Amino acid sequence: MDPELEVLLSEKDISPTAMRLLVLEYLLKQSSAISLRSLEDEFQYSERTTLYRTLKTFEEKGLIHHIKDGSGCTKYALCSSNCKEGDHHDLHVHFYCNNCKETFCLPSYKIPNILLPQNFHLEELNLIAKGVCDKCNVLLSMTTSSD
């Protein structure tokens, strides 16, 4: 196991258990957000509650954030390095591909400030863009050009 994984967990004040190290390693390899179901499929012999608690701990400590992309399934992705326990700073656009059904973090595309009426208190803000991702777009253009 990569010792850097233990350092990443320790920096977030998370005890580096074997399952947490495995889940972190898996998350680092992903190019898109993952669902609990995807994690269960990857770790077939692990208890669902253990996986869920691992995700919950990671989220509470500022290591990952959840995304509700409208698919009916909450997905999880790694946070930016400046997120902390109870203080997430990853207000960026998320992109849901209508073709492959994957959700991507677009950290370079920030959500603009939203001015709310007086006495409204913002607690959470999400922006989901939907369309066709770059990989699917290439595949779709290849199939239409060969017709």
Instruction: Walk across the sheet containing 92-97 and list its strands.
Output: 103-110, 92-97, 128-131
Q: What is the mean pLDDT of residues 23-39?
A: 95
Domain count of the fold of the chain: 1
Q: Is the dihedral of CA 9, 30, 72, 112 positive or negative?
A: positive
Q: What per-residue confidence (pLDDT) applies to 82?
A: 77
Residue 73 predicted with pLDDT over 80: yes
Residue 27 belongs to domain spanning: 3-145
Q: State the CATH number of the domain containing residue 79.
A: 1.10.10.10
Q: What per-residue confidence (pLDDT) applies to 84?
A: 80
* 3-state SS, residue 9: helix
Confidence of residue 1 (pLDDT cuts 50, 70, 90): low
Per-residue model confidence as pLDDT tens digits over 4-20: 999 999 999 999 999 99
Q: What per-residue confidence (pLDDT) applies to 36?
A: 92
Structure tokens at 24: 């972190």
Average pLDDT, the chain: 89
* Residue 50 identity (one-letter amino acid): T
